[in-house]
Structure 1
Amino acid sequence: MNRDEEYIQATVMELIRKNGALPSVEQKETLQAADLNRTLTEWGVNSFRALYLLYDLEEVFRVQIPDNCLTPETFESPLTIINCLKVLLNDKAIS
């Protein structure tokens, strides 16, 4: 994983924790690979909090997540969000 991917991953996880409702004990320092596959619901993100997460993602990464990416599949887990952002940021860098 390169530095850009590490930054994306760390930032997405920080925003999920910010917008989730899990107790601080869940906010462990070391991220396990399995954590990236946990659903947003498991992270304490409900539909209302998902809107704030979407806003924060667009604000922090300076991208607009297109309507065709606003699907349950894209917002299923941290990993699916990270993969979406990588594509958007790559497209942004090319244009």
Structure 2
Amino acid sequence: MFVRIVKMGFQEDKIDEFLANFEENKAKIRGFEGCKFLELYRGKDNTNQFFTYSYWEDEAALENYRNSELFKNVWANTKVLFNEKPEAWSVDKVVSLE
């Protein structure tokens, strides 16, 4: 399982705009071919920080999403709200306990 974690920091007065954009697009992202799981987290100590956590069939599925009109539109509306440069990690799941 290919996992993508993205850390984003937002201007305080832009958080509601980000959350509205995420709410509007979360089902489309989750429904994108190859996306198996999607969650959004908010920092406990720094509430301006958010993290997306998504599972993809493979790297090609994530790249297909990143090259899609859906991603381009979501990202265009998201990146203008940042207060810091986003960070992203691609990892392989090794163990999962239910």
The TM-score with structure 2 as length reference comes to 0.36
Higher gyration radius (CA): 2
Greater relative contact order: 1 or 2 (C-alpha under 8 angstroms, separation 6 or more)?
2
Name whichever structure is richer in helix by fraction. 1
Name whichever structure is richer in strand by fraction. 2
